[in-house]
Structure 1
Amino acid sequence: MKEKTLNRNFIFLIIGQASSMFGTTLLKFTSSLLILDLTSSATSFGIITAIGYLPPVFLSPIGGIIADRSNKRNLMIALDGLYGIMAVLLVFSLSFSNVLILITVIMVGLSVVSSFESPVVQSSIPLIQEKDNLIQSNAIVSQINMIANLTGPLLAGLLYNAVGKAYLSGVQIIFSGCAICFFSAAIFEAFIKIPKISLAPISNPLHAIQKDIGESFYFLKSKQKYVFKAILLNAAFVLLIQPLITTGAPFIIRVVLNLSSVLNGLSQAFMGTAGLIGGIIAGVIANKFKTNKIYWLFWIMGISIAVFGIVLLLDLSANLTYIIFVIIGIIIFISASIAGIFIMSAIQQNVPNDMLGRIMSFYSAIVSVALPIGILFYGYLYGRFINHLAAIMFFTSIAIFGIGYIGKKTYYYL
């Protein structure tokens, strides 16, 4: 008999994840506002922010090894407990004169913890769900993440605006609320029962790392080359799509179209909501849409980007161009969300339980590398070819079509 998607273990998992994700977005956004106020320097702010991207790139593979060799439930509890401790440290750091240095160190610590958290959660879902429920499960987790990313910054902005940097005691209250979110998540996660996976013990940690990483690459290159190809294709997709919109939206709206920051904020809200809608749709069509049809979604995105390129050539009014851009962005984010959920689920279904942590950490590390490269790449393109934006759209459209074409065979075998 097929088990329900919302079983006891998964309910505790998503409640814990909701509390943890909300606390994370609230803490990071509040910290970024505080850092910007304390430094009044875009350069310093950019450097501190960029530092936070580095730990997952290097530590995610080790996080996957730990996830496969440890009790996943206890690891979740420990990681959220560490998040909570760091939030408490942020509270106390505001009382010292070298507050900026302390905040930077703690933010790096948070990034280190996140390097271990993602592989643990992603490798736990297949152990508490039947394979037929994986798409719905990943869709639910994706929706929680989207909601946290929408509501966390909004609430952080409202609260921070109310207290401001002049009232650090008020910021301490926000950080205290984040700590409560993390400790609450740890409590809920204590009720999860995750089957244990037994791996052969290795006394030397360095040998364990070497052996586990070697096994992972052998598995991907020899036994599941289509999983390996799917991961690489998804990294190429992330490099192209997300920076095209996230880097391009503020540039096109504020600089090219010369429209207000309010319209820029609205575009971000619409596209964030589109990602949430995509997660809902993925859950609804889980048993109807097949993984081997994912390339259709890439072609939809490719066509949408090409259409916007044509719009840019027509020299329409700024407001009409903005409306079309937002509509196309919504289509792209819905399609990207659905594709991402189905790809993630297909990878999980084709990986043995005792390797889930390592393979999912490799997946996270590749995406973590691709995203900042894409941001730098499109930042250069938008700045260098400001008078030829249509060419950027057509280039990206062709590249996305190429990924869809190459992926057609790959997704068929997943």
Structure 2
Amino acid sequence: MKEKTLNRNFIFLIIGQALSMFGTALLKFTLSLLILDLTSSATLFGTITAIGYLPPIFLSPIGGIIADRSNKRNLMIALDGLYGILAVLLVFSLSFPNVLILITVVMVGLSVVSSFETPIVQSSIPLIQGKDSLIQSNAIVSQINMIANLIGPLLAGLLYSAVGRTYILGVQIIFSGCAICFSSAAILEAFIKIPKISLSPISNPLHAIQKDLGESFHFLKSKQIYVFKAILLNAAFVLLIQPLITTGAPFIIRVVLNLSSVLNGLSQAFMGTAGLIGGIIAGMIANKFKTNKIYWLFWIMGMSIAVFGCTLLLGLSANLTYIMFVIIGIVIFTSASIAGIFIMSAIQQNVPKDMLGRIMSFYSAIVSIALPIGILFYGYLYEKFINHLPAIMFFTAIAILGIGYIGKKTYRHL
């Protein structure tokens, strides 16, 4: 008999995650607006934001080890508690003269907590859900994440515009609301029951790190080489697709097409919604679409990018080019969302339960490295080859089609 996807444990998990993700999105976006107001410097803002990318790269593997060796439910409660403490610290920090330093410290703290939270949540889902429900479960978590990242910044922008940075009490109220979200998430997570996985105890933490990381790499390189290849292919995909659109959208719309920031904002909203729709579709086709067909999604994305390259060659009006860009962006983000959910589920299904935390943390770390590299790479390409944008599109299209072709054999073994 097939187990229900929305069982008691999973409901508590997704509601807790919804509160935690929404609080994080609201907090981070409010902080970004506050930093811009305090500094009026794009360089300083970019530097502080970039610092947030660093902790996951180095700490995710440690987070995976802790996730495998500790009580996952208690870790979730503790991490949301830490999020809440950081939000409360922000409330008080606004009264100090060196507020920018304190805000930077808190942003690093948020990134550190996130480094540990991601592998814990990703490794908990297969323990409370059956294999038949895994794709739908990952799709639901993905949808919650996307909804939080759509509503959180929108609400933060509206609230911040209403109170302004000069009204310190108003900003403190926003941060207090975030603290309430995190506290509520921690309370709900206390009701989750996650099966415990027993690993042999090691008294020396350094030996534990060395042993667990060694076992993880041995598993990936010798026992599940196709899982390893799938992780590397996904990292290559993240390096190419997300920066192409996220870096390219404001550049193409504002600089190349010379259109308004309103249209730029609309494009972001459409693409964010496309990712959400992709999660819904993934849940609907979970029992019909097979993992070995994932390469089809890469080919759809590659061909879509090539079509946009052809559109740029035709020299259409700015408005028509914008419409084509948004349509193709929607196709890409929908396909990418579906592919990501199926790849994540396939990896989870092929990894032993006592190694889920470590493997998922390795997956997160690789993606965390690929994304900023891709952003820098495409930032350079767009600036250096502003008069040759079709060439950038065709180059990316060929690379994505190549990933699909290489992955065809890999996904067949997952």
Please tell me the TM-score bracket, short chain as reference: over 0.9
Deviation, structure 1 residue 388: 0.2
2:286 alignment partner in structure 1 = 286
Aligned-partner Cα distance in 2 for 1:370–1:290 = 27
1:193-233 superposed Cα distances (whole Å, 9 cap, x missing partner): 00000000000000000000000000000000000000000
Aligned-partner Cα distance in 2 for 1:390–1:247 = 16
User: Which amino acid counterpart does residue 96 of structure 2 have in structure 1?
Assistant: F
Does the alignment pair 1:158 with 2:158? yes
2:352 alignment partner in structure 1 = 352
1:403 alignment partner in structure 2 = 403
1:267 alignment partner in structure 2 = 267
Aligned residue for 1:387, secondary structure, equals: helix
1:265-287 superposed Cα distances (whole Å, 9 cap, x missing partner): 00000000000000000000000
Does the alignment pair 1:245 with 2:245? yes
User: Which amino acid counterpart does residue 99 of structure 2 have in structure 1?
Assistant: V
Aligned residue for 1:87, secondary structure, equals: helix
Deviation, structure 1 residue 320: 0.3
Matches for 1:195-234 after TM superposition, within 5 Å: 195-234=195-234
1:97 alignment partner in structure 2 = 97
2:85 alignment partner in structure 1 = 85
User: Which amino acid counterpart does residue 269 of structure 1 have in structure 2?
Assistant: A
Deviation, structure 1 residue 355: 0.1
1:358-410 superposed Cα distances (whole Å, 9 cap, x missing partner): 00000000000000000000000000000000000000000000000000000
**Runs of 4+ more than 2 Å apart:** none
User: Which amino acid counterpart does residue 235 of structure 2 have in structure 1?
Assistant: A
Aligned-partner Cα distance in 1 for 2:324–2:107 = 38
User: Which amino acid counterpart does residue 381 of structure 2 have in structure 1?
Assistant: L
Aligned-partner Cα distance in 2 for 1:371–1:84 = 27
TM-score normalised by the chain length of structure 1: 1.00
Matches for 1:11-410 after TM superposition, within 5 Å: 11-410=11-410
Aligned-partner Cα distance in 2 for 1:407–1:80 = 37
1:255-303 superposed Cα distances (whole Å, 9 cap, x missing partner): 0000000000000000000000000000000000000000000000000
Gaps in structure 2 of 5+ consecutive residues: none
Aligned residue for 1:202, secondary structure, equals: coil
How many positions carry a matched residue from both structures?
A: 414
User: Which amino acid counterpart does residue 334 of structure 1 have in structure 2?
Assistant: T
Gaps in structure 1 of 5+ consecutive residues: none
User: Which amino acid counterpart does residue 212 of structure 2 have in structure 1?
Assistant: D
1:138-196 superposed Cα distances (whole Å, 9 cap, x missing partner): 00000000000000000000000001111111000000000000000000100000000
User: Which amino acid counterpart does residue 376 of structure 1 have in structure 2?
Assistant: L
1:90-136 superposed Cα distances (whole Å, 9 cap, x missing partner): 00000101100001001101100000000000000000000111000
Deviation, structure 1 residue 2: 1.5
Aligned-partner Cα distance in 2 for 1:44–1:247 = 19
User: Which amino acid counterpart does residue 239 of structure 2 have in structure 1?
Assistant: L
1:319-340 superposed Cα distances (whole Å, 9 cap, x missing partner): 0000000000000000000000
Aligned-partner Cα distance in 2 for 1:274–1:83 = 29
Aligned residue for 2:387, secondary structure, equals: coil
